[in-house]
Structure formats: C-alpha cells, structure tokens
Structure 1
Amino acid sequence: MNARAVEAGAMEANADRGGPAMLLTGMLVLALLAATNVAHGETNLSLAQVLSALTRDADPLLRDMVRDFRLPRAVVGLLGGAALGVSGALLQSVLRNPMVSPGILGISAGSHLFIVLATVFAPWLLNLAPLPLTLAGGWMAVAMVWLLAGGRRASPLRIVLAGLIVSMTLGGITSAVLVMNETEARFLLAWSGGMLRQNGWAGASFAWPWILGCLALVMLTARQLDLSMLGEETARALGQRTRLVVLACLGAVLVLTGVVVAVAGPIGFVGLVAPHLVKLAGIRRHAMLLPASAIWGAALLLGADTLTHVFGSLTRTPPVGAITAAIGAPWLLWLVLRGRRHGAGFAPMTPFGVRPRPLLPWPLTAGLLGLGVLGTLLLGLTVVGGLPLSPGTVLAALAGEGSAVAQRIVLEFRLPRILAALLAGACFAVAGALIQDALRNPLADASVIGVNAGASAGVLLLLAAWPLAAGPVVSAAALAGGLAAAAAIFGLAWRRRLMPAILILTGIAVGAICGAIVQILVLDGRFTGSPLVWLIGGLHARGWPAVQVLAPALALLLPLGLLLARRVEVLAFDDLTAGSLGLDVGRTRLGAGLVGVALAAIAVSQTGPIGYVGLVAPHAARLLTGHRMRPLLLLAGLIGAILLGLADIAARLVVRPAEVPAGAVVALIGAPYLLYLIHRSDRS
C-alpha cells in the first residue's frame, strides 16, 4: 500500500510534464488539418475561397459545396475522431491493456452488424432509433468478448484475441448479409469501410449532443481513472467502486463508438494510436490525457480523410477506415516489437476443453469419426442440389452404372465439391492444431494471425490488375499472399526468438495491413463480380482442380506435422523448460508454424478465407484424446472435414435455390461452440 502511494505521488509529480505543449501542438495541427480538409476535394479551393463561401455574397455553387458538403464532413471527422480517441484512452485505462481500442474489441463490428441488419430488413427502425441499434450491437460484442476471454480472469492477450475473433465473426455475418442483398449493399459497401462524406448537416446534428455530452461526463471520472491505474486492490482500498467505474466508462465507450458508426461507419485504429501519441509526451493523468486524446484523435481522422482525396477521386475514394488501418497497423506493430519486457503481461494461455483421459481408445474414436466423414460424403452426394438422389442411385453412379444424367451430376458436380470441402476442412483443422500448440495459445489459428488476410489481399491485387484471371491463377495468388504474410510475420518476430505473444500480435498487425489493402481494393470497383463472395469463403463451383491441389497438400504436409508432433508436445512447457530438455524451441516453433501456415494457405487458395474450422476442431479433438499430438492431429483433421462438409451442405440447403457462403455458416456454428468450450473449461 505504501509503495503504491509513493508510486502515485511520483506519477502526480511528473504526469503533466509536456502536457500543455502536447495540447497546444495538437490544437494547431488540428486547425491546420481542418482547413486543409475543407479546402481539398474533387476541386481544390484556396483558403480565401473557403472564407468567401461563408459570406452572404458568395457564389451559390461555391457556397453550397463548402457549407453543405465539406464543412459537415470536417465537423463529423472532428467529432468522430475525438470520440474514438477518448474511447481508446478509456478502454486502455480501465482494462489496463495498451493494445485495446473499440475496433480491436469488436465494438465497432457489433454496431456495424446491427446497422446493416436494420438497413436491409427494417429501414424504419434505423430512421427511428439508430443509437439504440448501435448500442445493442456494441453490448452484444462486449458480452461475446467477455465470455470468450474468460471473464474477470482474462489476460491482456486473451482479450485482444477474443476481440479479434468476435470482429471476424460479426464481420463475416455482415458480409454474408451484404452478399445476399446486393441492392442495399451498393451504398453499404462504401459506408462499411468508413466514410465521412456527408450530404448536409443531419449527421453532425445527430452526433454532436451525444459526443460532447459523453466527453463532458467522462471528464468527471478523470480522478477515478487515475486511481484505477494503481490496480484494482489499491483502488478499492482508497474507496473506489471499481466495477461502477468500469461499467460507466464502458457505457460511455459504447455510446461514443455507436454514434460514430451510425454517422460514419466502422473506423478502426484511431482509438489505439491517439492515446499512445499522448502518452509518448509523458501525459498520464486523465484530466490531461482525455482532452489530449480527443484532440489528437480528431487530427488523425481528419488527416486520414484528407489523404483519401489525395489518393482517390469523387467516384473512387478509398475508405477512410482503410487509411486509418494503414496508419494504425504499423503503429501496433511498432508497439509490439519495441516492448522491452519481451511480451510481459501477454503470457501464453493453456488450452481449454482438454480431457485428461480419453473416453475411448483413439483408434476407435478415429474409426467412428471416419464413419462420420463417409456419412457426410454420402449426404453431400444425395440431398443437395436441385435433384435429390437416393443412396442407391449415388452408389450406382460411383460404380459407373445408372443413367448418364445421374453419373454426370455425381461425378462432375457433387463429388468434387464435397471432397474439396472435406479436404479443406482437414487442412484448416490440422493447421489450427499445429499453430495452437506451437504458440501455446488456444485462440490462435491462421485466420487470427493474418494468413487469411494476406491470401485475400493477394487475390484482390491479382483481380484488380487482371479481372479475367483463371481459377488456377487466382488460387496461386491466394497461396502467394498467405505465404508472404506468414513470411513477414515470422521474419519480424525472429529477433524476438519467435515468442508466442510476439508472433500473435505481429500477425494481428500484418493482418490489419492486408485488411486495409482489401478494403481499398473492394471499393475500387474494377472487379467483374462481387469480391465479397470470395472474401467470406465457400465451395461454390469448386471442382476436381481444387481436389487435385488439396489432396496432395494434405498427403505431404500431414506426415510432416506427425513427424514434428513429439517435439511440439514439449512446447507445452515454457520455453526455458523445453530448452533445458534439449529442444531447439525456435526451430521447432518455426517448423510447426510453417507446416500449419502452408496447410492453411493452400486451403484458403481453394475455398477463400474460411475461419473457425482451425479454431474449433482442435479443441473438439482435445476433448476426445487429450494432449497427445499425433492422435490430436488425426482426430482434428477428421473433425474439421466433417465440420466444413456439413457447413457446405447447410449453405446449399438453408435458402435454396440461393446459396449462403459456407464461411458464414461455419462462423454461426463455431462461435457458440467455442463459447461453450470456454464455459465448460472455466467450470472445471
């Protein structure tokens, strides 16, 4: 207690050093960026023209351009940036986690999903109550992150990963809704990337009372937030009601983020970067930290919006959310790699959902799961499609007998597609098992550490340059993008000895950079079809070429994983213990990671970036076989095959004759199951 008091006194004495200079600099930068933002656009204006547009005698066209379009855009950018900057500062303080922000915790994704659902299915509700909608989405995302991270026992890294998984899930559902409602998607697609463009003052008029009111109320909690930084026990000893402070700040964050999403769409990384910029100047007390974060958040967002006009035009302006991600992701990468304590506070996590004693001998379990794979195969050959076939008809077609029509349906259309689903599911699952055990983290897989995002960027870069590229070339581009992202992740983390926390956080940052590229290219508009279909992931129109890629990959890389299995098991101990047992920790982790990444990248190249299979299947396998790595890889592969096979069947049956992307179905299955596993693990 005395040590904490001394620390608090030292913080009070030095907290505001550099604060006034930071505030003054921020206000000057903000004023300059605001003027630049209003002056720049499809037609650049001088400062004199901007000022003259505000007078009564101004040219009507110039006056309307400045007053009704550019000034509202600048005001929304100022308000939105301030709201996001303060939201990030609040979350980092109450969670005592420097890596969090509304975007990283999934709050923006939840608000975004509810706005999209209302726009498509209940436009009247969006017009009537936009803020309650965004609040409901934000609360849902927070609840999912809280459960996924493990509640009050959550570690900083687990919170970040849980937020990323929730964002991925909700984003996949949002994309599926957009794909199935193309008319509404034309406007929503641009707004979904973050867009400050305004048509009048309606957005600013809606936003300013909520944002300024929340900012004023938050300033009243500055002293309580200072106490929170001393730790929960010390704050309680000093009389603070810690839960009330956390709930109040979380409520403010939800309101601030919800208002921004309602008027400008989801915009990430402003809430991460702005508070860190302020803290680099030595500001720690929240009476100075919060207003400084608001000023620098506004400056960041206005600056990013100004850059959209430098790199685009009126019809092809990159989304401001992509620009903030392109700025913020390298910042996150810098924060990760500059830490001097080698990931302190981001310790690896033990797997959940592990059964110490298998219910059955694993060969018997494998046999039962093999029967499940055969059942899934038969189901995919019989019930899907416009013409259901009996099992006898299918077996006759496989034997080369029966009608020519039945043989063509089975052998040319249904069989290759269901085989591709089974093989891809096995690849995703084995990759997830290897990556989770190599990184000692149950929330890690290729989709989380950025490989899927790299594959997506590779595909869209190819299609932007060559819109009519053939399927094999698209698959090669996806494979190249995924492997390039993996090379960047492992290369950047190599100097930190491939520490698990550093690898994961580096993957998140690299994935965010690739995601920014994807956002910009999606809105570029040069594609012959909707790229969202591929970005969600699915098996539509997959044939024998996909099988010819996936089968050899699994046949080659699964044995390599089995050869590494014994050494990967030793990684379950900490690095020091594993090294003392004679294991080359860095090389083992690199080898297992590369095999897993290669499997995932090849699967993504054929199916698109399907998530959750690599997250869920290994945990389901651990419930059946425990920690033994070789049985785990085999059982995970079988479970992954069944999971993706059934998801693809469901994707073709839910809204027949249309088709839901299989990636969205997997997310709807995987998210509740993952929450169940965590709940079961916490109870035990």
Structure 2
Amino acid sequence: MLPVMLCGLSLFGLVMIGGNILSVLPGNVSIWAVVSPQADATEEILLHYTLLPRIVVALMAGAALGVAGSILQRVLRNPLAEPATLGVSAGSYLTLTIATLWFPLAASNAAEWVALAGAALALAAILGLSWRKGLSPATVTLSGMIVSLYCGAASAVLMLFNHDFLTGIYLWGAGYLDQQDWSGVLFLAPRLLVAIAVAALIQRPLALLSLDDSNARSLGLNIEAFRLLSLLVAAVIIAVVTAAVGVISFIGLAVPALARATGARSPGREMAWSAIFGALVLTATDQCVQALPVTYRIFPTGAVTALMGAPLLLVLVRRLKSLSPPAMTGMTEARRLRWPWTVIALAAVALGIALLLSVFAGRGPSGWHVMAAPEGVYSMRTIRSVSAVAGGAMLALAGAILQRMTGNPLGSPEVLGVSSGAMLGVIAATLSVTAVSRGLQISAGAVGAGITLAFIMALARKGDFQGDRLLLIGVTLSSISGFVMAVLMAAQDPRLDQLLAWMSGSTYAVRKQEAIAAVAILGAGLAVGALLRRWLEILPLGETVALSQGVSFRSATAILLLLSAVLTAAATILVGPLSFAGLMGPHLARLAGFQRPAAHLFASALVGGAILLGAEWLGRNIIFPYQIPAGLLATVVGGPFLLLLIGRRL
C-alpha cells in the first residue's frame, strides 16, 4: 500500500510540475534558462522567480508540517493533535492582525518576525499553564486548544469590525504559497534544517513518550525535559512555516495518520514518511491550484489541501491504529462533589435568575435600565436569551457525550462534523437565492446536517465505531466547509455578509417557535442522556469491558453518536456553528466536581447554557448600540477564565 501511494503521488506531482513549467516557457528555451534567466525574457523571469521558488517552498513546508504533526501526535498521544493544537498558528495570525491595524509599519516590513513573536507568546502561555503538571499530554492539549480558540475568536472579532482593512491578512492566513523571489526559501531552509535535525535526534525518546508516564520513567526517560524539547521543536517548525506562508491546514493532522495507516510504526519511520507524504501532498495540491483555468488566487492552497487530502484519509481511516490509551485518562481527577444533584438544582435556579436579569436589565438609548424598556424589547430579549441558553446547553451536552464516549478531551460538536454539514447547507442556500428566508436557512441547515450525519454513520460503521476514528472522520469532513469559507472570503463574495453574523454564533434571527423547539429538544436530549448514563460509564473502558458487562459496543456508540449529532445539528441551525461552549462546558463541569455521567451531563448543559447566556447579554450591551455575536464573545471572555482554572486545577 505504501509504495503504491508514494509512487502515485510522486508521479502525479511530477506531471503537474512539468505541465506548469511547460505552460510558462516556450518550447525553444534552453534548460539553462531555469538557472540563469535573461533579464529581457519575461517567461524565464517568471519561471525562475515565481514558479520554482514556489515548488521548493511547498516541498519544504509540507515536509516540515508532516514532521511537526507526527511529533505532536506522539507527544500528546492523540491522533487529533496537529499544528492548531498548540495555538501557534492562531497566535501568529492574531499578532499580525493587531500589527496591521495599529502598527502597520511592523506588519509590512517585518511580517515574519511579528508572526514568530505571536507564535512564541502562544507557546509560552501553553507551557506556563502546563508546567505544574509536568507538561502532561491532556493538560497541554486542552490548554493549546483553548489558546487556539481564544486567539481565533479575538482575530474574528477584529475581522468583524475591520473587514476591509484586513483582507490581506486573511489571504495570508488562508495559506497562499505565492513567491516573488527566493527569499522565502532562504528564510525557511536554515531554520527548518536545524529543527528537523533535532527532531531526528529524539526518535527514541519519542517512542518512550508514547507510553504511559510510569513506564517511560521506569525506562530511564526524563519525561518533562524531553516532552518540553519535543514540543519546542514542533512549535518552532510550525511557527517558521506559518510565518513564511501562512496557515496550511490538514497536513499536520492527516499526513501522520496516512503514514501510520500505511505501515509506519516507529517514530523515525513515521516522521520520515510524514515528511515525504507532506511534501508530496502539498506540492501536488499547489500545482493543481496553479493549473486551474480560473485565477488561482480564488483558491487558497491551504484550504484546497484539506479538500484534496480528505478523501484519501477517509479511505484509509479503517487502517488507522490508535497511538495510546485515551488522552483523558492522564488528566488529574478533580474532586467529587458530595451532593452533586443539590448543586445542580441550585445552579439551575441561578441560571433561571440570570435569564430573567438578561431580559429585564440592559442598555438602551437613554443608558442602563432595569424593567424600563418597551414591551416589544422584552419579547425580543426573551427569545434571544432562551435560544442562547438552549443552544449553549445542547452543544455542551453533545460535547460531554462525545468526550465520555471517545475518552478524548478534544471531542466536541465542531469536531464531529455535523455543524460543518449544517454550515454547508446554509451556504448553499445563501448562494442559490437572492434573499435567504429564515425558513429556508433552517431547512438547508437541517438537510446539510442530515446528509453529513448519514455519511459519518456509514464510515464509522465500517470502522467499528472506534472513538479516535470517529472524531478523525468528523475533522476530515469539517475541512470541506473550511475550504468553501476560504474561497468565499478570498473572493470577497458580497453574499458573505449574510453569513458572518450567523457563523459567529448569533441569536439575532431566532424566532419564538424556534426557541420553544430548541428547549423541547434540549429536554429530550437530557432525558435520553440520563437513560444512557450506564453506557457512558462503560464505553470509555473499551470494547472488551463493554461486552463483558452486556453492552453492545457498536450499538451503544452508534446511538450515542446519533444523540450528540442531533443536539449539535439543532444548536447549529438555531444559533450558528459555535466553537466554545461545546468543547469547554464539559471540562468546566468536570473541574467543578461532577464526575458521574448523569450529573456530568446535566452540569455540562447548565454550564454551556450559562456561557452563551452571559455572552449574549454582554454582546448586546457592552458596546451598545453595536453588538458582538455571542459565539465570538463567549470564547474571548470565557477563554482566559478557563485557562486560569486549568492552570490551577489540572
């Protein structure tokens, strides 16, 4: 399998490179024109200073991201770990966004160094939060995801209010490999050479880091030192590539999985084949982009890479081998509450009071008020507040089910892929008609989510519903919606404005009937989740234990997957594809001491609802009369709070 894939990718890449070179040069030009172009020959200049450096940069960037992804997945013992897990790329994007708005000279004259500074700050935050726990995989993973979400949300807020000024930053962030000379190659080559050389020297420690900590220590490994070194090497590689060519998605996630699925087992072989596959996949994709009959600037290479690599990964997902036991087993056990249901009852009452305050207290044209607004305003606020609670609670409930079912701290509704299907449905409807009604938006989102769910169920069934494979399928399918959004943003499609508010987690357009339906779905989800609590306690222990307890592993997993997917689809259609409550609500509930499945599900729903309710109220009032979408604000405000909790409790 491995030789066939390698030969196929190599041949395809060479054919595309040859075709693009021949399309630039006339047939009678000597091959020496490639090395030494004539000053008056436009074609030779174009080949030497744009096409050839672009090929070399693609080869180096793809190989480097493959190596970085392999290191992260080994160190963090998680097949979903990728460059985005460390938040390095998101940190670079945020600092460049800030520099473009307030320090334009630095952004234009030293963009690479600004990006590297952002990457360093993001990595420092993650290491600082994880240091007390010896850089444990679970703590690093969770801290990295929160930093990544926070930086991404902060960038999105700035983009929302300064869209016209930040178009260039978005194009950079989408992963364009355009080159005007050989400076990009000269920037990448020495830095990547040193980092990859160090990576090659730590193959044996990487093999031991994949083991349980106690076993690795018994073999004489200084876990903290080598884990820090490995994370630094991966972060440096990611930061250098991101600074040079922007955010290239999917390579760091998919290529190591491809290497393992086709036979690579040891860290050295996996890194080597990841480098080869990464270089070939990125270069072949970029050459395809350049060969398109339309202007290639509409299609960012970073997004197209995910679109082209997704089918290959889906084909091989059944062959994927687990790296280690579930990552959540390495997390420090939080204290257990003595009376969890009493606390849940009190929290529900507190949430009800907060709901009332969000309706009757706020800002208006005359300033702050309590119960002094027109009657119609109360009705609007009630609908928005109830929908925020219901949407956040459904997402957190779905996240709690996924995290318990798979044993993976990265399990969340957005990772499942159903929200991306709903997003694609809404995008298709928006692009198909002149004006999108709320009914059409809901219908299109439901169809998109349903089709995606059916596809996930079919693929997961072939993979025996294994947790890591299930989440990897979801991430892979989500890459398609990422490609569509990247194309729309790059093309500056005017219809994009209709989507931005909804995609940011907006409650603006929710109607009374929709809010009531959402509450009903949430109630049904909580009831079903409580009935299935025994499965959620048994499934993380593995298929063998489940069968010994009389639980059909495949049937139970399929039913839980269906439940979480329905909750995700309903919340996404209601308030848009949020990216915080579903991931963090379950973690906050666990940190608060809710350990048993039923209590954890109810507490997660309360926390998720509170997160979105608070964000909806703040977004409505903080910069009145302007408003910030609840999804973005939830991440920006809630991210630091959760990071503080993680630093003190994990």
1:188 alignment counterpart? 169
* Displacement after TM superposition at 1:409 (Å): 2.3
Q: 1:6-155 maps to which residues of 2 (within 5 A)?
A: 33-39=16-22, 46=26, 48=28, 62=43, 65-66=46-47, 69-88=50-69, 91=72, 100-103=81-84, 105-143=86-124, 147=129, 152=134, 154-155=136-137
Q: 1:152-551 maps to which residues of 2 (within 5 A)?
A: 152=134, 154-155=136-137, 166-198=147-179, 200-201=180-181, 204-205=182-183, 207-218=184-195, 220-221=197-198, 224-229=201-206, 231=208, 250-271=231-252, 297-311=278-292, 313-314=294-295, 317-334=298-315, 336-339=317-320, 343=322, 345-347=324-326, 349-350=328-329, 354-358=334-338, 360=339, 362-363=341-342, 365-388=344-367, 390-393=369-372, 406-411=374-379, 413-530=380-497, 531-551=499-519
1:4 alignment counterpart? none
CA distance in 2, matches of 1:551, 1:514: 28
Mark the CA change 1:36 to 1:425 in structure 2 (over 3 Å): closer, same or farther: same
Q: Give yes or no for contact 1:275–1:289 (8 Å, CA) kept in 2.
A: yes
CA distance in 2, matches of 1:76, 1:316: 17
CA distance in 2, matches of 1:632, 1:27: 50
Which SS does the other structure have where 1:537 is aligned? coil
2:565 alignment counterpart? 597
CA distance in 2, matches of 1:135, 1:460: 34
Q: Give yes or no for contact 1:464–1:521 (8 Å, CA) kept in 2.
A: no
Q: Give yes or no for contact 1:435–1:596 (8 Å, CA) kept in 2.
A: yes
1:12 alignment counterpart? none
* Displacement after TM superposition at 1:266 (Å): 0.5
CA distance in 2, matches of 1:448, 1:542: 24
CA distance in 2, matches of 1:631, 1:96: 28
CA distance in 1, matches of 2:478, 2:461: 17
CA distance in 1, matches of 2:471, 2:11: 37
Matched to 1:533, the amino acid is: A
Mapped pair 1:616 → 2:593: no
Mark the CA change 1:335 to 1:137 in structure 2 (over 3 Å): closer, same or farther: farther
Aligned residues: 640
* Displacement after TM superposition at 1:558 (Å): 3.3
Q: Give yes or no for contact 1:165–1:448 (8 Å, CA) kept in 2.
A: no
TM value normalised by structure 1 = 0.79
Mark the CA change 1:159 to 1:339 in structure 2 (over 3 Å): closer, same or farther: farther
Any unmatched runs of 5+ in structure 2? Answer: none
Matched to 2:416, the amino acid is: I
Mapped pair 1:653 → 2:621: yes
Matched to 1:509, the amino acid is: T
Which SS does the other structure have where 2:376 is aligned? helix
Mark the CA change 1:674 to 1:467 in structure 2 (over 3 Å): closer, same or farther: farther
Q: 2:556 aligns with which of 551, 569, 588?
A: 588
CA distance in 2, matches of 1:597, 1:96: 26
Which SS does the other structure have where 2:578 is aligned? coil
Mark the CA change 1:591 to 1:439 in structure 2 (over 3 Å): closer, same or farther: same
* Displacement after TM superposition at 1:429 (Å): 2.5
Q: Give yes or no for contact 2:581–2:611 (8 Å, CA) kept in 1.
A: yes
CA distance in 1, matches of 2:426, 2:7: 45
Q: Give yes or no for contact 1:94–1:225 (8 Å, CA) kept in 2.
A: no
Deviations along 1:18-39, one digit per CA (max 9) or x if unpaired, are 99x9999998876655444445
Deviations along 1:176-211, one digit per CA (max 9) or x if unpaired, are 22112112232233322111224x32xx41x33332
Aligned-pair Cα RMSD in Å: 4.2
CA distance in 2, matches of 1:481, 1:150: 44
CA distance in 2, matches of 1:442, 1:122: 37
Matched to 2:612, the amino acid is: L
Matched to 1:538, the amino acid is: S
CA distance in 2, matches of 1:621, 1:239: 37
* Displacement after TM superposition at 1:472 (Å): 2.0
* Displacement after TM superposition at 1:320 (Å): 0.3
Deviations along 1:65-113, one digit per CA (max 9) or x if unpaired, are 4455444544543443344345445556766777654345443233222
Q: Give yes or no for contact 1:218–1:249 (8 Å, CA) kept in 2.
A: no
* Displacement after TM superposition at 1:631 (Å): 4.2
Matched to 1:356, the amino acid is: R
Q: Return 241-250 or 180-189, whichever deviates more.
A: 241-250
Mark the CA change 1:622 to 1:460 in structure 2 (over 3 Å): closer, same or farther: same
Which SS does the other structure have where 2:61 is aligned? helix
* Displacement after TM superposition at 1:338 (Å): 0.2
Deviations along 1:131-189, one digit per CA (max 9) or x if unpaired, are 3432333334445666579955745x887676556544433332222112112232233
Q: Return 371-380 or 69-78, whichever deviates more.
A: 69-78
Which SS does the other structure have where 1:301 is aligned? helix
Mapped pair 1:664 → 2:632: yes
Deviations along 1:577-607, one digit per CA (max 9) or x if unpaired, are 3433333333333223322221121111121
* Displacement after TM superposition at 1:498 (Å): 2.0
* Displacement after TM superposition at 1:243 (Å): 6.6
Which SS does the other structure have where 1:600 is aligned? helix
Mark the CA change 1:566 to 1:243 in structure 2 (over 3 Å): closer, same or farther: closer
CA distance in 2, matches of 1:349, 1:292: 28
Mapped pair 1:626 → 2:605: no
CA distance in 2, matches of 1:88, 1:99: 9
Any unmatched runs of 5+ in structure 1? Answer: 1-17, 395-405
* Displacement after TM superposition at 1:446 (Å): 0.8
CA distance in 2, matches of 1:663, 1:268: 22
1:402 alignment counterpart? none
Which SS does the other structure have where 2:525 is aligned? helix
* Displacement after TM superposition at 1:53 (Å): 7.3
* Displacement after TM superposition at 1:319 (Å): 0.9
1:641 alignment counterpart? 609
Mark the CA change 1:582 to 1:281 in structure 2 (over 3 Å): closer, same or farther: closer
CA distance in 2, matches of 1:566, 1:25: 47
Q: Return 587-596 or 232-241, whichever deviates more.
A: 232-241
* Displacement after TM superposition at 1:306 (Å): 1.9
CA distance in 2, matches of 1:572, 1:85: 29
Asked which structure has the greater CA Rg, the reply is: 1
Deviations along 1:223-246, one digit per CA (max 9) or x if unpaired, are 623443553699999999887666
* Displacement after TM superposition at 1:247 (Å): 5.3
Which SS does the other structure have where 1:448 is aligned? helix
1:397 alignment counterpart? none
Mark the CA change 1:97 to 1:440 in structure 2 (over 3 Å): closer, same or farther: closer
CA distance in 1, matches of 2:482, 2:376: 40
Q: Percent identity?
A: 29
CA distance in 2, matches of 1:27, 1:509: 23
Q: Give yes or no for contact 1:380–1:414 (8 Å, CA) kept in 2.
A: yes
